[in-house]
């Protein structure tokens, strides 16, 4: 399918519990229309715009899910009380398809559920559906993990500037990120993100921070070569409340990370999801806060108690 997208829509329907009920429509121009009905952070109508790159990402997500090869409905009520999701896509050439997906139907493919979640992430629906900062809770110790990004590898993060704008305009950017082989990360855990590669030492280092929003899940590998081999990868849903442009502004660089109180941290980790030891994590929070203060950025309080689990 190569025609231009005219409209994409997603509707979450009720369940027997507190499931979010809302509708979101995305037009080829990038205009987004959202209407929240129940169990969402913001009810009623809201509008915003996403970039052309994100519209293209949405189209790509439908293509990867082989949407036009799926059934028009997965509506078996084998498991009662589950929510539903109706999705659709229309192209400028007149071709279109919609799928009615009841989440209690065990025959529905995982690719469909993953597509539904991907639509939410790309469009940025979470800031209207999720309560603000649910991870702020009293904990004796907050496990802290390092996620990695290497722009020299498969994922180029082509819409990075859009994501930075999300943080600036809405307070956070929600996505899912590869976490290596670590299945222990859970909702409320602290995450930092470091840029790797062979570029300048000042361009490599910690450039983002946030929180894990739910538990680890498994999905198609982020590297297309590995995905074609049928390999899967582990991902953690995250919400980044700070996202710096490592190409144009100061970050917590390698020269800082490799010396002083931060020396000995897992800054050379080959994969993401590596735990940062408690004492080093506490020092990282201090150095990060100082860097952000120099930029006039004030973080949400973490309520961290530096300690060892």
CA atoms within 13 A on the CB side of 19: 15
Asked whether residue 255 is domain-assigned, the answer is: yes
Could you give the number of structural domains in the chain? 2
3-state secondary structure of 166: helix
Going by C-alpha positions, the residue among 181, 185, 163 that lies closest to residue 172 is 163
- Whether residues 77 and 106 share a domain: the answer is yes
* Burial degree of 109 (CB within 10 A; 0-12, 13-18, 19+): middle
Domain boundary among 82, 104, 129: 129
Q: What CATH number should be reported for the domain holding residue 175?
A: 3.10.590
**What range defines the domain where residue 100 resides?**
5-129
Domain boundary among 80, 102, 129: 129
- Whether residues 89 and 166 share a domain: the answer is no
Residue 132 has what pLDDT?
Answer: 56
CA trace torsion 267, 150, 191, 42 (10° rounding) = 170
* Burial degree of 2 (CB within 10 A; 0-12, 13-18, 19+): exposed
3-state secondary structure of 129: helix
Q: What CATH number should be reported for the domain holding residue 19?
A: 3.30.1560.10
Question: What is the Cα–Cα distance from 140 to 173, expressed in whole angstroms?
Answer: 27
* Burial degree of 208 (CB within 10 A; 0-12, 13-18, 19+): buried
Residue 229 has what pLDDT?
Answer: 87
What does each C-alpha distance from 38 to 15, 120, 130, 240, 279 come to in angstroms?
Answer: 11, 16, 11, 25, 43
Look at phi and psi of residue 240 and say left if phi exceeds 0, alpha if psi is from -120 to 50, else beta: beta
3-state secondary structure of 111: helix
Tens of pLDDT, residue by residue, the chain (309 residues):
457 999 999 999 998 888 899 999 999 999 999 999 999 989 999 999 988 888 998 999 999 999 999 999 999 987 788 899 999 999 999 999 999 999 999 999 989 998 999 899 889 898 888 765 544 455 556 899 999 999 888 678 888 998 998 888 878 888 889 999 999 999 889 999 999 987 666 789 999 999 998 889 888 888 878 888 888 889 999 999 999 999 899 999 988 998 889 998 999 888 899 999 999 999 999 999 999 999 888 775 544 433 333
Strand 84-91 and strand 5-13: pairing?
antiparallel
- Based on DSSP, count helices (H) and strands (E) in the chain, helices before strands: 7, 15
Asked whether residue 303 is domain-assigned, the answer is: no
Asked whether the beta carbons of 21 and 128 are under 8 A apart, the reply is no
Going by C-alpha positions, the residue among 126, 104, 134 that lies closest to residue 113 is 104
Question: What is the Cα–Cα distance from 177 to 234, expressed in whole angstroms?
Answer: 8
Asked whether residue 148 is domain-assigned, the answer is: yes
Asked whether the beta carbons of 238 and 210 are under 8 A apart, the reply is yes
- Whether residues 194 and 242 share a domain: the answer is yes
Residue 302 has what pLDDT?
Answer: 47
Asked whether residue 18 is domain-assigned, the answer is: yes
CA trace torsion 200, 265, 212, 25 (10° rounding) = 10
Under DSSP, the state recorded for 46 is E
- Whether residues 230 and 286 share a domain: the answer is yes
3-state secondary structure of 101: strand
Question: What is the Cα–Cα distance from 143 to 148, expressed in whole angstroms?
Answer: 17
Asked whether the beta carbons of 57 and 159 are under 8 A apart, the reply is yes
Asked whether the beta carbons of 177 and 155 are under 8 A apart, the reply is no
Asked whether residue 51 is domain-assigned, the answer is: yes
Return the CA Rg of the chain.
20
Residue 92 has what pLDDT?
Answer: 94
Residue 134 has what pLDDT?
Answer: 47
The pTM of the full predicted model, rounded to 2 decimals, is 0.70
């Amino acid at each position: 399918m190569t025609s231009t997208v005219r409209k994409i829509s997603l509707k979450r329907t009720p369940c027997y519990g507190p499931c979010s009920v809302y509708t979101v429509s995305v037009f080829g121009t990038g205009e987004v229309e959202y209407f929240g009905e129940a169990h969402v952070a913001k009810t009623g109508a809201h509008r915003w715009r996403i970039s052309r790159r994100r519209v293209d990402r949405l189209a790509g997500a439908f293509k990867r899910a082989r949407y036009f090869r799926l059934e028009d409905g997965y509506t078996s009520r084998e498991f009662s009380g589950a929510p539903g999701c109706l999705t659709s896509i229309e192209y400028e050439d007149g071709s279109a398809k919609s799928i009615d997906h009841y989440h209690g139907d065990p025959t529905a493919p995982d690719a469909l559920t993953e597509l539904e979640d991907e639509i939410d992430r790309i469009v940025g629906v979470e800031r209207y559906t999720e309560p603000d900062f649910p991870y702020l809770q009293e904990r004796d110790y907050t496990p802290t993990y390092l996620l990695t990004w290497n722009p020299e590898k498969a994922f180029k993060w082509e819409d990075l500037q859009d994501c930075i704008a999300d943080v600036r305009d809405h307070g956070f950017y929600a996505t899912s990120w590869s976490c290596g082989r670590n299945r222990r990360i859970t909702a409320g855990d602290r995450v930092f993100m470091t840029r790797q590669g062979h570029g300048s030492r000042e361009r490599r280092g910690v450039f983002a921070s946030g929180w894990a929003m739910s538990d680890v899940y498994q999905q198609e590998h982020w590297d297309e070569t590995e995905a074609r081999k049928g390999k899967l990868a582990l991902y953690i849903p995250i919400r980044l409340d700070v996202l710096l442009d490592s190409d144009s502004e100061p970050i917590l660089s390698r020269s800082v990370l490799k010396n002083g109180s931060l020396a000995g941290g897992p800054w050379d980790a080959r994969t993401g999801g590596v735990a940062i030891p408690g004492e080093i994590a506490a020092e990282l929070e201090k150095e990060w806060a100082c860097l952000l203060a120099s930029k006039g950025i004030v973080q949400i309080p973490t309520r961290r108690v530096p300690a060892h689990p």
